[in-house]
Structure formats: structure tokens, C-alpha cells
Amino acid sequence: MIQTMVLLVDDEADFVETMSKRLTKRGLGVLTAYSGQEALEKVDRDGASKVDVVILDVKMPGMDGLETLAALKQKHPLIEVIMLTGHATVESAIEGMKRGAFDYLMKPCNLDILVGKVDQACRKKRLHEAKILQARAEMIALRRGD
Amino acid sequence: MADRNQKLYRVLTRNMVLLVVGVALAPLILTGIVLLSQFQEAYRAKVIDHLAELVQKHSQNIDGFLTDRLANIRVVARSYSVEMLADGQFLRRNLALLREENGGVFVDLGLIDSQGIQQAYAGPFNLAGVNYAEANWFRKARQGEHFISDVFTGLRGTPHFIVAVRQSAEGRDWILRATIDFEAFNALVENISIGQTGFAFILNHLGEFQTKPRYQVTPDRSPNLDFFKSHLKPDRVAVTEKTDQTGRKLILAEAPLKGGEWILCYQQESDDAFAQLHHARRVTLAILLIGGLLIVVVAFVLSRRMVNRIAEANKQKAIMNDKVVEAGRLASIGELAAGIAHEINNPVAIMVEEAGWIGDLLADEDPTSEENLAELKRAVNQIQTQGTRCKEITHKLLSFARKTDPDIHEVSLSEVVEDVIDLLKQKTRYANVEIKADLDPDMPPVAASPSELQQVLLNLINNAVDAIDASGGKVTVTTREDNGEAVFEVADTGQGIPEAILPRIFDPFFTTKPVGQGTGLGLSICHGIIHKLGGAISVRSEVGQGTAFTVRLPVVNRSTEGGS
């Protein structure tokens, strides 16, 4: 199975560093970004196929979590987003869910639970991609008149 | 503060009392004076007119009496011849008739020849044959057609006066003389009396009494005699007011009698004549006085009570104000708490992650490898750092949440500014706002409650940050000393306040934030606090450019001599 690629987005640098190390230890591929803007750039550059799941902090200066989510979903709808929220911003996380986020977690989070959700999200994404490929294949097959 | 209030209330009470008393008393007194003077005039005129009428009537009465008596005698003189009248018997019969017809007014009747010898006499006295040649009255009687004498004692020794008629027969004069009973005549005049001290008497031109006055009359009759000088026509009555020698005020009414030879004097003490008027005046004054007193007393009581109510209401208002300030403060704390909880969450999350990381490292095949040991050390340090960060944050919130200490301390403005900026660090970061503090290091301390000052700065800086939209901006806080005052300014590059709303921003419950987001109390609480500290707060703003709030506070007097 191809390695799950995760993009960690949070303005708190220390948090991102440690989290990144822990996820790497568990066998995930980790990219990091410290703002919503940076996150979008990285996804655009490396290609949607590379990043499977985005772990997104809700409260960030500049482009906040919801805005980043909206932008991601617009350009790369297949990428799944898991929202991380400090207690005061539960509403935003729920709002994000309504707009297509996969799930939300409260900070500080239990890493095992997080990894579990990441796996689920990744599987959903991969499944979806597979269906698309299959549909394409069938379309071609139909055209060829086999 | 309380003293200032006490003085204000005293002034207010005094003003109210003066106003009420003035407004109430003025018309009262004015009315009283006007009415009294009008009434006085009218009454006096009435009394005087009445007196004049009375005296005139009586004078006419008396003149009539005299005329009638004269007529009586003239009829007798012209009806009979001298010879008939010289008969004593005949005279007696005539006298009897006269007495019968005239109520006993005539005393006697006598016929006197040109020599002055009484030829015939009818009457109670023994006067036949008496010679009147030397008598005053005889001389006068011979001069005119008829004569009425003054009252005199004469030969008979009792006061009487004479009515005489002169007739001529055969070239010789003779006089028919009748005596009028003094008592009867006196009664006419004596009966004139009004009030307690009013009485009348008749004087001749020498000031001699012709009738017996009822009461004591002062010996000096000169006020009365002045009347003769005035040459009044008959039927005119002169009424004057004079003060006699004993100081009594008198009303004198005088009318001419007997063709001007006599005067009928009517005299009454002024006090008596105007008794009713004086009574009315006294009553009015009494009412005025009592009324005035009542007004003053009531004005006092009412004003005092009113001012007390006001004082009480003010006290309640002050208490309410304090409560509002407290409520505002608690609301601020509530807002802060949310922000701070989030702020704490970050270090906590990091601590949890680092702890988890340590767990991961320990679960590794070689937990004690050099690389791993270095990582363990780093993680542990990080945990400590973040833990300290949490501690600072909670302490900040605790210090702000401490119950408002109303005691005034010496507070360093710059310190408070730094504290508040720190509290709001997260908020400014997320709002994309750069916050800059430009603090004067030599700022003198101000006398204020530190928590209240914190509240003011918190409100101002919060508002400044809120005014800046998502594209970001700058908030500058400056402190400086200016002209013996401490000045701090909070300026932002936000949307500004339109001129139309500018005067209202300090009103309580006035807010331009949507419902549920702002209480509208922030600036009004700031305003209240600054004013309580004896300072002033002002604002400049331009739409699209930004806003600046300036606060001036009095400075604590520093010791100028050496010292610490």
C-alpha cells in the first residue's frame, strides 16, 4: 500500500514539528505548512495526487481554517480534510464539517485516534480515485465496442 | 466627593426655597398692597362722603329749625297790632299756643319798645319792665328786620338764645322777642353721633360754644376757626383731617349755620371713623404674615424633602453605575476567558504531543541511543517551556479577574499598557493586527485603581482591534506627560467613526456591532471611570483612515526635593 501522505497545517510551529515527528515514526509521509496560504501553495505545487489528507487547524492568522478548507475543496475536492480545534472554536469545526470536512478533533488530541481517522480518510480518497479510474476504463471500453 | 455633593445640595435647596418663596410671596404681597390701597382710598372717600352728607343734613335741619322759629315769631308779630301784643294776657295765650304747636321749644315771649323796655312779658321768669337798652342783642335786633342771637346766659342766669323780630308802627320800632329753650336746641345737635367718638357742636365766630359738646373737646379751637376763613357757601361741608394738641388724629366736618355766623362742627377720632378699615387692614396684614410664614415654612420643608429625594436618587444612581461598571468588567473577563482558554490550549497540546513523543521514543528498539537521548532531552525541555507559558497565561487572567479594588493607588500607566497588550496578544495575532506601544519611560504615576485602568485600556484596545478589518492594520498605544497631566492615546488604522455618530459613542448601550456581539457598555464605562478619576477622554476620527482616543489623567504630585 502506498504511503499515506499528510499535510499538517498549523501556525503553532512547535506543535507542527513534534506532531510531524510522531506521525513519521508511525509510517506516514508528512508535509508541513504554517499558514493556510502556504498550505494551498504546497498542494498546488506537489499535485493533488500526492497529498491524501490535510490536517487543518481552525484558528490561524491571515487565512483561517474555514477559508483554507473552502479553497481546498474548490480546487481539490478529493483531498480529505480533518479539522483540529481549540475548545473555543467548536462552532467553526462543525461549520467546516457542513462544508465537506471529513471530521474534527479537539486539541490536544490522542495520536492513535488521529492516525485512525487519517487512515479512514485516506481510504475514502483512494477508493474514490479508484472508482474514477474504473469509470474511465469502462468509458473507453464502450467506445472501442468490445 | 461627598463634600462637593453636600455643597451642591445646599445650594440647590437654597435656590428652590428662594424661588418658591419669591414666586409665592410676590403676587401675594402685590395683591395685598394693591387691594389694600385701593380699598383704603375708596373706603376713606365713602366715609368722608357719608360724614359730609350727615353734617349737611343736620346743618339743614338746624338752619330749618332756626328759620321755622323765626317764622313763628314773625307771623305773630305781623298778625297782631302793637296794642294787642302789649297785653300781657294776650301774649301769654300766644306763648301757650306757640308752646303747644312747637313742642315746648319756646320759653317766653316779650314785647320791647324802642327804648329797650320790655312792655309785655309772657313766660316763667319775672322779666316784665326790664330794660334791655344796653343789651347786645337789643342793639343788634334794632338794626335788622329780624335777629337770632348767640347763646348766652343773660339776666335769667340760664343759657338761652333769642329770636327777635322788629316791627314798625306809627313811626316807632318795637321788637317782639322770643327765647328758645337751650336744652331743646342742644338736643338737636347732641343727638348727632356716629361711632364711639363722633359728636357735634356749634360754635360762633368767636369760638364760643353754642351747644354743649358731648365729649371733651380740646381748648384750642383754632382748627375749627380756620373754617371761617374758608368762606364756604352754605350747604357746603368741609371735611378735613387734623391732629390736635394731644396727638390724636381727628376728622372735622364743618358746615355754616345761620347765614355763616355759626358753624356746625362734627368731630370724630380718625381711628374711630375708619375703625372698619383699620380692622380690615389688620386682618389683611395678619393673613399676609401668617400666609407668608406658612409659605416660607412649606417651601423649606418641601425643598428639603425634594433635595433629599434627589440626593437619594443620585446615590442610587452612583451605586447602579458601579454595578454597571462591574458588570462590564465581568463581561470583559468573559470575553477574555474564551480567548485565553484557546491560548492555553496550544501549549497544552504541545505538551501532550511531546509527552506522546517521549512515549514513542521509549517504545523504540533502542531508546537510549544518542539520537534518542538528545530528542528526549529536547522534548522534556519543551514540556517545561510550554508549562511555564501556561502558568503565565493563567496568572494574567487571574490578575484581571481579581475583584475591583476601588482603592486608589499610584499606578504606572506604562506597566498597565504592557499588561493589557500582553493579554490581547492572541487576539491581535489572529486579527492580523500589529500592535505597537510607544511608552514614555519617565511617565509620572497617576492616582487610580489599577484594575479600573486596565479595564479602560482593555476596552479601548479591543475596540481598536475590532475596528480593523481582515486585511490587517496597526494599533498604536502611546503614553506621555503633557502640561502636568498624564496622557495616553490608543490609535488605530481601522474604519473610523462617522461624524454623525461621534457624539453618541459614549452613550450607554450604544453600539454599532451586531446584536449579541457588543454590549454597548464599553465606552460608557470608560467614560465613567475616567471622569471619576478626575480626567477626560476625547476622540478624533476620520472614516476610512482611523480613530484615536485620547485620555488625560491628573498626575500624582512628585516630591521635588532630592528624595528617592
pTM equals 0.49
When CB atoms are compared, the residue of A22, A86, A87 closest to B357 is A22
Instruction: For B261-319, give the DSSP string.
Output: TEEEEEEEEHHHHTHHHHHHHHHHHHHHHHHHHHHHHHHHHHHHHHHHHHHHHHHHHHH
DSSP state of B213: -
What does the mean pLDDT of chain B come to?
82
**DSSP strand pairing (A53-57 vs A5-9):** parallel
* Per-residue confidence (pLDDT) for residue B224, from 0 to 100: 62
Which letter, b or e, does each residue of B423-443 get, where b requires 16 or more Cβ atoms within 10 Å of its Cβ?
bbebbbbbbbbebeeebbeeb
A96-105, B240-249, B302-311: the lowest-pLDDT one: B240-249
DSSP state of B515: T
Q: Are B505 and B468 in contact (CB under 8 A)?
A: no
Cβ-defined contact of A88 to B356 (cutoff 8 Å): no
Residue B277: how many CB atoms within 10 A of its CB? 19
Q: What is the CA radius of gyration of chain A?
A: 16
* Per-residue confidence (pLDDT) for residue B225, from 0 to 100: 62
Q: Print pLDDT tens along chain A (146 aa).
A: 688 999 999 988 889 999 999 999 899 999 999 999 999 998 888 765 588 899 998 888 878 888 999 999 998 898 999 998 876 667 777 888 898 999 998 888 888 999 999 999 999 999 999 999 999 999 888 888 65
Domain enclosing residue A10, as ranges: 5-144
3-state secondary structure (DSSP) of residue B489:
strand
Predicted confidence (pLDDT) at residue B347 exceeds the cutoff of 90? no
Distance of CA A18 to the CA centre of its chain: 18
Q: How many domains does chain A have?
A: 1
* Per-residue confidence (pLDDT) for residue B563, from 0 to 100: 40
Partner residues linked to B174 by β-bridges? B113, B167
Find chain B residues with C-beta within 8 A of A111's C-beta: 353, 356
Find chain B residues with C-beta within 8 A of A37's C-beta: none
Cβ-defined contact of B341 to A88 (cutoff 8 Å): yes
* Per-residue confidence (pLDDT) for residue A135, from 0 to 100: 92
Find chain B residues with C-beta within 8 A of A15's C-beta: 346, 349-350, 353
CA-CA distance, B175 to B411, in Å (whole number)? 131
Cβ-defined contact of B342 to A89 (cutoff 8 Å): yes
Q: What is the 3-state secondary structure (H, E, C) of A75-137?
A: HCCCCEEEEEECHHHHHHHHHHHHCCCCEEEECCCCHHHHHHHHHHHHHHHHHHHHHHHHHHH
Instruction: For B118-184, give the DSSP string.
Output: EEEEESSS--TT-B-TT-HHHHHHHHSSEEEPPPB-TTTTS-EEEEEEEEEETTEEEEEEEEEEHHH
B154-163, B237-246, B538-547: the lowest-pLDDT one: B237-246
- Our CA dihedral for B104, B105, B107, B110, rounded to 10 degrees, sits at -120
The residue whose grid cell reads 319798645 is: B113
When pLDDT is averaged across residues B464-488 and rounded to a whole number, the result is 87
B1 in contact with chain A, both atoms CB, cutoff 8 A: no
Chain B residue with minimum CA distance to A114 = B353
Q: Tens digits of per-residue pLDDT, B268-297? A: 888 887 888 888 888 888 988 998 899 899
Predicted confidence (pLDDT) at residue B149 exceeds the cutoff of 60? yes
* Per-residue confidence (pLDDT) for residue B402, from 0 to 100: 66
When CB atoms are compared, the residue of A19, A88, A89 closest to B353 is A19
Nearest-Cα distance to chain A for B519, in Å, is 20
Cβ-defined contact of B382 to A18 (cutoff 8 Å): yes
Q: Are A111 and A22 in contact (CB under 8 A)?
A: yes
CA-CA distance, B538 to B487, in Å (whole number)? 11
3-state secondary structure (DSSP) of residue B395:
helix
Nearest-Cα distance to chain B for A19, in Å, is 6
Residue (of B459, B440, B463, B441) closest to B513 by Cα position: B463
B97-101, B164-168, B255-259: the lowest-pLDDT one: B255-259
When CB atoms are compared, the residue of B338, B353, B354 closest to A88 is B338
Chain B residue with minimum CA distance to A89 = B342
Predicted confidence (pLDDT) at residue B562 exceeds the cutoff of 90? no
CA-CA distance, B545 to B426, in Å (whole number)? 24
Chain A residue with minimum CA distance to B383 = A14
Chain A residue with minimum CA distance to B363 = A25
* Per-residue confidence (pLDDT) for residue B520, from 0 to 100: 75
A108 in contact with chain B, both atoms CB, cutoff 8 A: yes
* Per-residue confidence (pLDDT) for residue B187, from 0 to 100: 80
Q: What whole-number percentage of chain B has pLDDT above 70?
A: 91
**Could you tell me the domains of chain B?**
29-152+161-180 (3.30.450.20), 185-275 (3.30.450.20), 404-554 (3.30.565.10)
Interface test with A, best of B340, B350, B358, B428 (most A CBs within 10 A): B350
Which grid cell sits at B80? 297782631
Cβ-defined contact of A64 to B349 (cutoff 8 Å): no
* Per-residue confidence (pLDDT) for residue B313, from 0 to 100: 92
The torsion angles phi and psi of B480, rounded to 5 degrees, stand at: -160, 165
Find chain A residues with C-beta within 8 A of B350's C-beta: 12, 14-15, 18
The beta-strand segments (E) located in B375-439 are: 409-411, 433-439
Find chain A residues with C-beta within 8 A of B354's C-beta: 18
A48 in contact with chain B, both atoms CB, cutoff 8 A: no
Chain A residue with minimum CA distance to B434 = A61
* Per-residue confidence (pLDDT) for residue B406, from 0 to 100: 65
Nearest-Cα distance to chain B for A114, in Å, is 12
Residue B181: how many CB atoms within 10 A of its CB? 20
Q: What is the 3-state secondary structure (H, E, C) of B199-211?
A: EEEEEECCCCECC
Predicted confidence (pLDDT) at residue B185 exceeds the cutoff of 70? yes
Cβ-defined contact of B339 to A88 (cutoff 8 Å): yes
ipTM of the shown complex: 0.79
Instruction: For B217-268, give the DSSP string.
Output: --S--HHHHHHHHT-PPTT--EEEEEE-TTS-EEEEEEEEEGGGTEEEEEEE
A123 in contact with chain B, both atoms CB, cutoff 8 A: no
Nearest-Cα distance to chain B for A33, in Å, is 17
* Per-residue confidence (pLDDT) for residue B558, from 0 to 100: 58
Residue B108: how many CB atoms within 10 A of its CB? 22
* Per-residue confidence (pLDDT) for residue B513, from 0 to 100: 79
Predicted confidence (pLDDT) at residue B506 exceeds the cutoff of 80? yes
* Per-residue confidence (pLDDT) for residue B560, from 0 to 100: 43
Question: Domain holding A36: CATH number?
Answer: 3.40.50.2300
When pLDDT is averaged across residues B530-547 and rounded to a whole number, the result is 89
Residue (of B136, B128, B134) closest to B115 by Cα position: B134
Which grid cell sits at B180? 328758645
Residue A31: how many CB atoms within 10 A of its CB? 17
